């Protein structure tokens, strides 16, 4: 973090650009090989010392940034969904529909689709764990044993679905981190509604692709699923919602609706003006505030301290808090980083289509991850 900037700058990088690249490489190494928390904090300190940002400006662009604040309150909101057991309800609801009965491949496709939605509403890890627990119940009812081809395939399929689904909703961890960096560096906003439409189509295509792989390449034994009675999977009554669960589910639909509403409502409509005035972060704070104020049986619907303790992934918050000021500094003309990247990539992509460049960026992101 502190030594790279002492090297002779590579044109058109400036000395500041060299120091910023060093900070980025150091933090990236820490994220990959150590952990998220203290390398992110070390990166923030390095930005103050060698990154050319004063502490007040840095903190305003990191922890004070609306995107970082929104991430925090989204974690609190999603923790409430998990707390009331709605994640298991959502997954079970999909796979107990009558149209999947006796259709093993359609059942598997619907199962993966439900995990996409869980990954979108919560995050990849709880979605995968819930998916596995339901899969084990399916295996027990159908007579599958450990090591059989179908459960082996679906164990991987569930993780695949959970990871991709995490990016389906634009105000969650992965998408929000990438959005904030892109918008900061390009100055262009992203339409949430259009993003969700494209992301949902991609998720469905990914699920379909996995099913095609299973049917024609993996070819597991599906015969035991033909007579599956999906209702037997609800061993703990998860499909019977309580009043509190229905209320939380209503707030979930309300969150999505309010975040997308400004894209559909007339610009001069009073609700549109109100939602734009408070922004996406304000919408999440508003709903969290209302849920914390509502009391059911003498207890708040959302216990803020409990949800913060159980739901906020501080590593992701700190990662985003570092990424925000770093992208601002790297995009500034004084660093020379943008010019350096253009000079580096133009010989390879100068005459290529935008699709080729987009594919390259996708592969580069996968490699870095």
Each residue of 59-77: pLDDT tens digit? 999 999 888 898 899 889 9
Q: Label residue 196 by pLDDT band (50, 70, 90).
A: confident
Whether 309 has a pLDDT exceeding 90, the answer reads: yes
CA distance 318 to 75: 13
Q: 43 and 27 in contact (C-beta within 8 Å)?
A: yes
Q: Of the segments 74-78, 137-141, 157-161, 276-280, which one has the largest average pLDDT value?
A: 157-161
Residue 55 confidence (pLDDT):
92
- Could you give the C-alpha distances from 328 to 5, 146, 185, in angstroms and in order? 18, 50, 6
Q: Label residue 176 by pLDDT band (50, 70, 90).
A: confident
Per-residue pLDDT reduced to its tens digit, 49-59: 998 889 999 99
Whole-number mean pLDDT of the chain?
A: 87
Whether 104 has a pLDDT exceeding 70, the answer reads: yes
Mean pLDDT of 183-207: 83
Residue 22 confidence (pLDDT):
95
Share of the chain above pLDDT 90, in %: 36
**In this predicted model, which residue has the larger pLDDT, 232 or 258?**
258
Mean pLDDT of 170-183: 74
Share of the chain above pLDDT 70, in %: 99
Q: Label residue 46 by pLDDT band (50, 70, 90).
A: very high
Q: 338 and 102 in contact (C-beta within 8 Å)?
A: no
Mean pLDDT of 144-153: 91
Q: Label residue 347 by pLDDT band (50, 70, 90).
A: confident
| Lookup: tokens for 125 | 């890890």
Q: 97 and 110 in contact (C-beta within 8 Å)?
A: yes
Exposure letters 82-107 (e unless 16+ CB within 10 A, then b):
bbbbbbbbbbbbbbbeeebbeebeeb
| Residue 91 CB contacts under 8 Å (≥ 6 apart), including other chains | 111, 114, 115, 118, 130, 131, 134
Residue 155 confidence (pLDDT):
94
pTM: 0.76
Q: Label residue 173 by pLDDT band (50, 70, 90).
A: low
Residue 296 confidence (pLDDT):
81
Mean pLDDT of 136-157: 90
Per-residue pLDDT reduced to its tens digit, 212-248: 999 999 999 999 888 888 777 777 777 888 888 889 9
CA distance 32 to 15: 26
């Amino acid at each position: 973090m502190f030594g790279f900037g002492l090297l002779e700058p590579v044109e058109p990088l400036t000395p500041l650009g060299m120091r910023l690249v060093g900070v980025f490489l150091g933090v990236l190494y820490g994220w990959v090989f150590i952990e998220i928390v203290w390398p992110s904090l070390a990166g923030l300190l390095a930005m103050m010392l060698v990154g050319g940002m004063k502490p007040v400006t840095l903190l305003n662009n990191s922890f004070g940034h609306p995107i970082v604040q929104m991430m925090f309150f989204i974690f609190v909101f999603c923790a409430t969904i998990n707390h009331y057991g709605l994640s298991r309800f959502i997954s079970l609801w999909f796979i107990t529909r009558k149209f999947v009965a006796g259709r093993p491949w359609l059942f598997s496709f619907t199962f993966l689709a439900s995990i996409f939605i869980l990954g979108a509403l919560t995050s990849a890890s709880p979605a995968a764990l819930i998916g596995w627990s339901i899969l084990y119940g399916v295996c027990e009812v159908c007579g599958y044993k450990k090591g059989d081809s179908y459960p082996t395939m679906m164990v991987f399929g569930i993780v695949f679905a959970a990871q991709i689904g995490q990016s389906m909703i634009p105000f969650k961890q992965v998408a929000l981190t990438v959005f904030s960096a892109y918008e900061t560096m390009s100055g262009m906003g992203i339409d949430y509604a259009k993003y969700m439409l494209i992301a949902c189509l991609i998720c469905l295509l990914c699920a379909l692709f996995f099913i095609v792989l299973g049917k024609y390449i993996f070819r597991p034994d599906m015969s035991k699923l033909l007579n599956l009675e999906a209702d037997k999977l609800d061993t703990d009554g998860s499909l019977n919602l309580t009043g509190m669960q229905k209320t939380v589910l209503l707030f979930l639909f309300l969150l999505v609706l309010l975040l997308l509403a400004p894209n559909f409502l007339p610009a001069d409509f009073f609700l549109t003006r109100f939602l734009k005035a408070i922004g996406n972060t304000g919408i999440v704070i508003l709903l969290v505030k209302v849920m914390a104020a509502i009391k059911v049986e003498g207890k708040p619907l959302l216990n803020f301290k409990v949800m913060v303790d159980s739901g906020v992934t501080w590593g992701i918050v700190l990662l985003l808090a570092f990424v925000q000021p770093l992208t601002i500094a790297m995009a500034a003309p004084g660093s020379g980083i943008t010019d350096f990247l253009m000079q580096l990539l133009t010989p390879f992509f100068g005459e290529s289509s935008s699709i080729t460049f987009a594919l390259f960026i996708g592969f580069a992101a996968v490699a870095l991850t």
